[in-house]
Chains A and B, each alone.
Chain A
Amino acid sequence: MLRTVLTAAIALAPMAASAAEVVSAVLRIERERPAPISRLELPAGDEGFMGALLATRDNETTGGFLGHTYVLHKAAALPEDATAALDDLIEQGARFIVTLAEADDLLALADHAAGRDVLLLNVSAPDDRLRGVDCRANVLHATPSRRMLADGLAQYLLWKRWDRWALVHGSHPRDREKAEALRAAARRFGARIVSELAFEDTGGARRSDTGHVLVQRQIPGLMQGLREHDVVVVADESQVFGVHMPYRGWTARPVAGDAGLRATAWHPAHEGFGATQLQRRFEALAGRRMTDLDYEAWVALRAVSEAVTRTDTADLATVLAHLLSDDFELAAFKGMPLSFRPWSRQLRQAVILGDGFTVVSISPQEEFLHQRTRLDTLGVDEAESACPL
């Protein structure tokens, strides 16, 4: 039917505008990560890249009306080659660089790029220190910090009146940092951590043929000594044991944190605020579901484009100033406009609470108020910020 349709030519009438060319890139610093416990979470390999590609397509459409063009480069490098890869991208003209990198790798890139005409957009490192003592003038954070995710989860647990938490955390540094973020969230919103349990990672294979038999016997025993609690809160970013907690505890309690109910930047089942359109656009492009990394890469480059559109220039200083100003706001399928906290360069955003299947809620919860914006009930606030910028 549609084949016979007379398709109007793409005779876009550009507005009076400059011929800005926006050159961006995605740079991934490769670190070996253990295989996930569930094969449903095996990585596709192009997480983040596809989100950046979709953002570039979206930006090209908008830019077509304004005479702005968008280019995307991609690179992946081992940690020892990271700065050379960054130099290559800068050489190719990239000014806005989405980084898929852990905290220390990101800091190395930021310090290497200091003083040059380039802005890094962190979409994968949740570490609060990158927004605090280790903040950098040339790094914006599109991904929520651990504290934002922990606060978003805590608000919902408190809304449910589940205020007695049993905290079970892993032994790797990022698990301990997550546990610390959850403790801070409990203090902030008035939950009590009635018991804590550390789970040592002793290595070994992530999966085995009849592994469930052993796990079924082990977990209840470990949980037996915990004090009376409403919810088990798991800090296991390393994915060593957390996903084994639901349904296997000593008592029948819900599980939240890095298993069960999780707080994330994105969820492939999220359909609120028009999100279905973004999910479908992404799935048509990538042939798979949209992950956190894809969403955050999309958001980062959409933010850049929004600033370019409003300021009608690709000049980095002008774009950065606009991104950090009160005038900047981004519609990104989360119900409230996203903007940057000038004191930490963190993108304000709602976080999604979901199980593996559906969206359960979206935080901030309505009942938690703030004098500036409710989004600032998530994460470290201005008064507590350790960022010297």
Chain B
Amino acid sequence: MRGFLAGAVALLALGPVAAWAQVVFVTNEKGNSVTRIDVATLEVIDTVPVGQRPRGITISNDGRQLFVAASDDDTVQVFDPETMRLIHTLPSGPDPEQFVLHPSGNPLFIANEDDNLVTVVDVVTRRALAEIPVGIEPEGMGISPDGRVLVNTSETTNMAHFIDTETFKIFHNTLVDSRPRVAEFTRDGSLLFVSAEIGGTVSVIDPASGEIVHTIRFAVPGVTPEALQPVGVRVTADGSRVFVALGPANRVAVVDGRTFEVKNYLLVGQRVWQLAFTPDERYLFTTNGNSNDVSVIDVAAERVIKSIPVGDQPWGVVVSPN
């Protein structure tokens, strides 16, 4: 708390044009809170109470609105990232989990786990624009860099659903391995990665055809294969490396973005799920749900340099833009 006050004072001293320090926001699913971490010092700024069972988290392009899925409150809360004051809530539909913002900053596409729906919400007018029926237990949400294609994964139907963001209609389905959790496009939109938690794989999909061009598998000596459960996926901007969180294997895999070979396994905290880069890709942050901490990976060195204790059962993570 003292660190937060000091930060606020510094901000005032620098005047209105000064940028707020770059901050990592972590949802603590069990703690009903968001922990803020200063990227410059890698120290916790504070932990702030939010709605019940916060999971998905993202931030607007201008860094002025922080979106938090309060799953058990059936709403998406929008906070001022600097003050952590609640600005308003969005009509998310029941049990929102993951969501993704359109690259233009609007609308927000929300997976409603309980209702087999993706809800499209205008974040300015705060109205639901559409509900898109998808497979059982929608979860992962990825959007193409041009904003034209939304990909939702359904955990029990085991598909990646390709949705046209103009018509809100599904135009293609790709069957992937069991319990797909996260969908992530490369920055140039040429590839789509879909992790399958129970299947233990990451499918590499050509978004143009919807075909799976490669299946990434994992193996760690001394770790039982069932524990290799891919969830979070993040690709470097140049597409050269793919980082995959492996859940209860307590590791993040580093995959070559061209050959899809696994190059490295980085030991992090327990039950690692979601990942977020800093915009300059210097660091990658991981949420470790069973050890209540965030691991900091030095991306260039592919080394874990710090573990930061956060709230109870960290789930989602996002870093503010520059």
B20 to chain A, nearest CB (A): 33
**Which of chain A's residues 1-40 have a Cβ closer than 8 Å to chain B?**
1-2, 5-13, 15
- Do B131 and A5 touch across chains, with their CB atoms under 8 A apart? yes
Q: Does A337 contact B (CB under 8 A)?
A: yes
How far does the alpha carbon of A7 sit from the alpha carbon of B113 in the complex, in Å?
A: 17
The contact string, 1 if C-beta is below 8 Å from chain B, for chain A 257-270, is 00000000000000
Bound Cα distance from A330 to B197, whole angstroms: 11
Chain A's closest residue to B131 (CB) is: A7
| Contacts A7-B131, A329-B198, A329-B199 given; does A15 touch B178 at CB 8 Å | no
Q: Are A13 and B172 in contact (CB under 8 A)?
A: yes
Asked whether A12 and B198 contact (CB < 8 A) given A1-B91, A277-B114, A373-B226, the answer is no
Contact with B along A195-223 (1 / 0, CB 8 A): 00000000000000000000000000000
A62 interface neighbour in B135, B168, B225, Cβ under 8 Å? B135
A343 contacts B by Cβ under 8 Å:
no
Q: Which one, A2, A309, A330, A331, contacts B128 given CB within 8 A?
A: A2
Whether A280 sits at the interface, judged by CB under 8 Å, is yes
Are B137 and A277 touching (Cβ within 8 A)? yes
Verify B175–A274 contact, CB threshold 8 A.
Answer: no
A374 — which chain B residues lie within 8 A by C-beta? 224, 226
Chain B: interface residue total (CB-CB under 8 A): 41
Give the contacts of A319-369 with B (CB-CB under 8 A). Answer: 329-331, 335-337, 369
Are A13 and B173 CB-contacts (below 8 A) given A2-B131, A7-B130, A280-B114? yes
Do B155 and A331 touch (CB < 8 A)? yes
Q: Which chain B residues (89-128) contact chain A, with CB distance < 8 Å?
A: 91, 93, 95, 113-114, 116, 128
B217 to chain A minimum Cβ distance, whole angstroms, is: 13
Query: Could you mark each residue 165-197 of chain B with 1 if its beta carbon is under 8 Å from any beta carbon of chain A, else 0?
Result: 001111111010111000000000000000001
Q: How far is the CA of A275 from the CA of B133 in the complex (A)?
A: 21
Are A61 and B157 interface neighbours, CB within 8 A? yes
Q: Is the CB of B157 within 8 A of A11?
A: no
CA distance A2 to B115 in the complex (A): 13
Among B157, B169, B177, contact of A8 (Cβ-Cβ < 8 Å): B169
**Is A281 an interface residue, CB under 8 A from the partner?**
yes
Check A336/B175 contact, CB under 8 A, given A5-B131, A281-B114: no
Q: Looking across the interface, which residue of chain A has its beta carbon closest to that of B169?
A: A11
Contact flag A6-B137 (CB < 8 Å), given A274-B155, A329-B178: no
Task: Give the CA-CA distance A302 to B224 in the complex, in Å.
Answer: 25
CB < 8 Å A-B pair total: 101
Chain A residue nearest to B197 in the complex (CB): A331
Residues of A contacting B240 in the complex (Cβ-Cβ under 8 angstroms): none
For the complex, is B246 an interface residue (Cβ under 8 Å from A)? no
A281 surroundings in chain B (CB, below 8 A): 114
* Nearest A-chain residue to B120, judged by Cβ: A8
Query: Does B129 reach chain A (CB closer than 8 Å)?
Result: yes
* CB <8 Å contact, A65 and B198: no
Contacts A277-B114, A277-B137, A337-B198 given: A8-B156 contact, CB under 8 Å?
Answer: no
Q: Is the CB of A6 within 8 A of B199?
A: no
> Across the interface, do B156 and A331 meet the contact criterion of CB distance under 8 Å?
yes
A47 at the interface (CB under 8 A from B): no
Cβ–Cβ < 8 Å partners of B113 in chain A: 274, 277
A-B contact pairs, 18 of them (CB 8 A): A8-B169, A13-B169, A13-B170, A61-B157, A65-B159, A65-B170, A274-B113, A274-B137, A277-B113, A277-B114, A277-B155, A309-B158, A310-B175, A329-B177, A331-B178, A369-B224, A373-B225, A373-B226
Residues of A participating in the B interface, judged by any CB pair closer than 8 Å:
1-2, 5-13, 15, 58, 61-62, 65-66, 274, 277, 280-281, 302, 306, 309-310, 329-331, 335-337, 369, 373-375
The interface of chain B, by Cβ under 8 A from chain A, is: 91, 93, 95, 113-114, 116, 128-133, 135-137, 154-159, 161, 167-173, 175, 177-179, 197-200, 224-226, 248
Given contacts A2-B93, A8-B167, 7 further A-B contacts (CB under 8 A): A13-B171, A15-B175, A274-B137, A277-B113, A309-B158, A331-B158, A331-B197
- Return the 5 tightest CB-CB contacts between A and B, nearest first: A331-B198, A331-B179, A331-B178, A62-B157, A8-B168
